[in-house]
Structure 1
């Protein structure tokens, strides 16, 4: 199975620049109801994922910021506590599943390490469930 089958293309993915502010990240996450968003730099490369937890820890450890000043702090100043690893578009299904067991989504990059989209854990689970269900039906039919 080619992992591109599961790809949600970059055009359909909510992402931010590392130069975005905490306020922009909070607003985007709230609007889309996401708890994590990929960070894509000016060259189009995946540079990490910012999570709600990262933002909360930054605000907790920097009380001088306060919510009213979140528009002044770039995401480059927010430590990332989770290392959400990408896969290359030519990765094997086993590599994808290994990452999806510990990540809600897996960023996908091309040969030049340019971000091309994500694969969500949900689609992998749905695909595996359909395979399992069809095998059960095949066994029952015999």
Structure 2
């Protein structure tokens, strides 16, 4: 099995860049109902992943400077990322992908020079495994 089988290509992924404002980032996450999105550099390199928690903690710790009303004046590049969402290389083995998917909702996928090429969602891996296991479970239940 190859990681590319599970890949959601970057054209279909909601992502942001470091020059997004906090407001743009929040609105994009809200619109798509995501709690985290990848951050892509201008050169296409995967930079990290921003979460709702990162944004909320930044606002909380701003001493009242950053509010929902002023969020359009602050850039994402100033927000510290609390979670280290690690990417995998496109040619990584499935064990590497699964070990990250156990602790991340999605796994960013990059090429050999770090350019973002898409994500693998944990739910896709689980759905695939469910299809493999379901016929076996049905057979076991019929034999009881």
Where does residue 60 of structure 2 map in the other structure? 60
Q: Structure 1 residue 84 and structure 2 residue 85: aligned?
A: yes
What is the CA deviation profile of residues 15-65 of structure 1, one whole-angstrom value per residue up to 9, with x for unaligned ones? 000111100000001100000010000000100000000000000001112
Which whole-Å CA distance do the structure 2 matches of 1:10 and 1:39 have between them? 11
Report the alpha carbon displacement of residue 116 of structure 1 after superposing the two structures with TM: 0.3
Which whole-Å CA distance do the structure 2 matches of 1:141 and 1:108 have between them? 40
Q: Structure 1 residue 122 and structure 2 residue 126: aligned?
A: no
Report the alpha carbon displacement of residue 139 of structure 1 after superposing the two structures with TM: 6.2
Which whole-Å CA distance do the structure 2 matches of 1:137 and 1:91 have between them? 33
What is the CA deviation profile of residues 91-131 of structure 1, one whole-angstrom value per residue up to 9, with x for unaligned ones? 01010110000000000001121100000000000011111
TM-score, normalised relative to structure 2: 0.93
**Alignment partner of 2:117: what SS?**
strand
**Alignment partner of 2:129: what SS?**
helix
- 1:1-142 correspondence to structure 2 within 5 Å: 1-62=1-62, 63-137=64-138
Report the alpha carbon displacement of residue 135 of structure 1 after superposing the two structures with TM: 3.3
CA RMSD of aligned residues (A): 1.5
Long gaps (5+) in structure 2: none
